[in-house]
Structure 1
Amino acid sequence: MPRIRGQRHRLFAAAVTALTVMSLAACGARTGEEPASGSQAAEVDTSGDTIKVGLLNSLSGTMAISEVTVRDALLLAIEEINADGGVLGRQIEPISEDGASDWPTFAEKSEKLIQQDGVAAVFGCWTSASRKAVLPVFEQNGSLLFYPVQYEGLEQSPNIFYTGATTNQQIIPALDYLREEEDVESLYLVGSDYVFPRTANRIITAYAEEHGIEIVGEDYAPLGSTEFATIATKVEDSGADAVFNTLNGDSNVSFFREYAATGLTAETMPVLSVSIAEEEVAGIGAEYLAGQLTAWNYYQTTEGAANESFVQAFQDRYGEDRPTSDPMEAAYTSVYLWAAMVEEAGSFEVEDVRAAADGITFDAPEGTVTVDGDTQHLFKTSRIGRIGADGAITEVWSSGEPIRPDPYLETYPWAEGLS
């Protein structure tokens, strides 16, 4: 059984819940609502000829710029698996719900998918605020969420499989790259005002203290904010060597346009972003991003036959102008991993699937990934990319091999006390 951090896990969850509530208030979202919870574990509906799964993504609101493509990738994986015979001889029936970029709505829709629809698993969420909002629903109902996006770590749940990067597979390699390859000695931190950016920046600050990097400024904006003139001016005046960007959603559009308006460029003060992928580049405008850096585990340009097939299939299905990106690749991969777990278990039941998960591998577009049953995270390869004038992101550095997930940063002495 995967480890659950007892008191430390509960204390951190409580602290993060309080932070989420404050962040939601700043974003103008509904607060004070408890996620609905079932009094007993929900049952997977195996009565029909199909097996249902839930897709829970923001199809409207500020996060739709990022999450619609994730839903599309999930549907592609389901279609491919169904064409190949389905799972345990059953076709997968997707039920899609819109989280609407609103965390209480995510909790409400997850409850509906689990209790009313009897899904075998749910695939979705993007922001950590949405994941934190639904986590108690999945734990109280004994259901499974497959979460496809990089996040701040410091969390494990028996009811979540994390198929995006945890901190030691994205943020720390990004900091190592800035320090070792770009000679960065000072950073300005810019982020959205909710769980992921604030927690990530705590980790970044601890790293900076350990490695002699000066944090010269730190600013947050409400999720969905379009007012960045003041922050852009402060960034320019700071004289930082680089900016570490944890903004999410369409706030990035306004930030990078204001950044460019100040006269800053990737040459004068590079920005490394951890939530901008190919889909967001198209929405922001490549002319505002050329030369800037990103940290992910996958790019559309990642080499390999599996990725070539994936990109071709996605564009055949949705149009040749549609790019692929890390979160949607991790979502696509998550469906295949779930299907492999089910086949290994010979069962759709949650406990059986979890018991069969350890060591499951998949030849993913990003390269081979392996499930670590202990943490329910994946072994993943870290990659730094540079955005081109054409909007494509080209890898400029790689870890070379998959990195073991370390969500609590136990192998980093300087991180002691963060969790």
Structure 2
Amino acid sequence: MIDTVVDTADVPFMAGPAASAGISSNEGTCSDIVFRASENTAMDARSGGKYVAQETDISSVYLFGADYSFGRAVVNNYEEVLSNNGVEILDKRFVPQGYSEWEGLLDNAEEAGADGVVGGFTVATLPAMFTSYLQGDYSYSVFGGLATRITNAVVGQTLQQALGEPLTQEKIDNSGLGPFTTRYHWNQYDNEINSTFVEDYTNAYGTVPDLFSSGTFTAASAIVQAVNSAGSTSGSDVAEALRGMTVTDTPKGEDGYTFQEYNNQARSAMTVANLAPTSDEWSDNWQAAIQPGEPLATIGKDETTIPADAPGMNCSL
């Protein structure tokens, strides 16, 4: 879109939830008319990775990721953040989406002496990885980002098959999975806007909002705010209003997102949580056996994004 439409049409583009940090940090895609409200892989690492380094006993990590932009962004950002916080990176490996021969790779991490493993994958790969991990006898934990309801449903089924039903909190706590970063899930933010959003979203779609919902809501909210602020629907006027904007109405609370002036990526708070069995309160509207538990920590928006002077920031508007 950026290469073929945005640059040619010269119309502001609000990128959706595509999570690669490079969209708003690489020189080739960064632009003064490209904006993104949705959270990205760098934000996962800069919140969850820092929490793991500073609040757990993990001192050495083996990194795995899918061999495309998302997986590489996950691995590269965790490598930077963990290394900068004193955690040893033992190795990193990239595998195709849908890779299933996990026993040997997980054994490699064990033999290398890993305390923790990061898996930069989606639903195409995570179930096979988690099944092999849960069936093996590994001393390390697996952490990373908490995904969508669809992925959680499959992972929940995997846990039920491996650990047995009912899936209790004790079984999950002893599984070695977690902690996980959440970009957004319905039960991680307690404010009036989020309460209304969760209720309206659930009534409309029959499911609670999850991973991508807050960023995409905020993208729309920001455009409305920009049009009202500019008093215009002209692309150049809307873009000018968006630059540096703090978005008032967001599921993460009032003024929960702010577009950075150096790359037009919105920064927002992130939370870290362990997995929990899905409670009766949410079971009808969250068709998965597991859900994010109560937040272990909330990392403020000023700490979650790539700083303007960081080595990985190759964008200067």
Contact 1:191 1:221 in 2 (8 A): yes
Contact 2:262 2:308 in 1 (8 A): no
Distance 1:404 1:342, change over 3 A: farther
Does 2:286 match 1:386? no
Distance 1:307 1:287 in 2: 30
Partner of 2:260: 372
Give the total of aligned pairs.
Answer: 278
Does 2:237 match 1:348? no
Distance 2:228 2:88 in 1: 50
Partner of 2:222: 337
Partner of 2:59: 185
Contact 2:15 2:34 in 1 (8 A): yes
Counterparts of 1:88-167 in structure 2, within 5 Å, are 134-143=2-11, 144-153=13-22, 154-155=25-26, 156-166=30-40
Which letter does structure 1 place at the counterpart of 2:228?
E
Q: What is the Cα deviation at residue 217 of structure 1?
A: 2.7
Distance 2:122 2:130 in 1: 12
Find the residue that maps to 2:302 and give its secondary structure: coil
Task: Choose between structure 1 and 2 for higher RCO, CA contacts under 8 A separated by at least 6 residues.
Answer: 2
Task: Name the TM-score, length of structure 1 as normaliser.
Answer: 0.59
Distance 1:135 1:170 in 2: 26
- 1:216-258 Cα offsets, whole Å, 9 max, x none, are 2322121243443433333344331111221134211221122
Partner of 2:147: 276
- 1:338-369 Cα offsets, whole Å, 9 max, x none, are 12212222333321210111324233112222
Counterparts of 1:259-270 in structure 2, within 5 Å, are 259-264=133-138, 268-270=139-141
Distance 1:416 1:335 in 2: 28
Distance 1:345 1:286, change over 3 A: farther
- 1:269-308 Cα offsets, whole Å, 9 max, x none, are 2222226244421232166393422213322212222222
Does 2:301 match 1:402? yes
Contact 1:148 1:334 in 2 (8 A): no
Distance 1:213 1:418, change over 3 A: farther
Find the residue that maps to 1:337 and give its secondary structure: helix
Partner of 1:231: 105
Task: Name the TM-score, length of structure 2 as normaliser.
Answer: 0.76
Partner of 2:281: none
Does 2:199 match 1:312? yes
**Coordinate RMSD, CA, aligned:** 2.8
Contact 1:378 1:405 in 2 (8 A): no
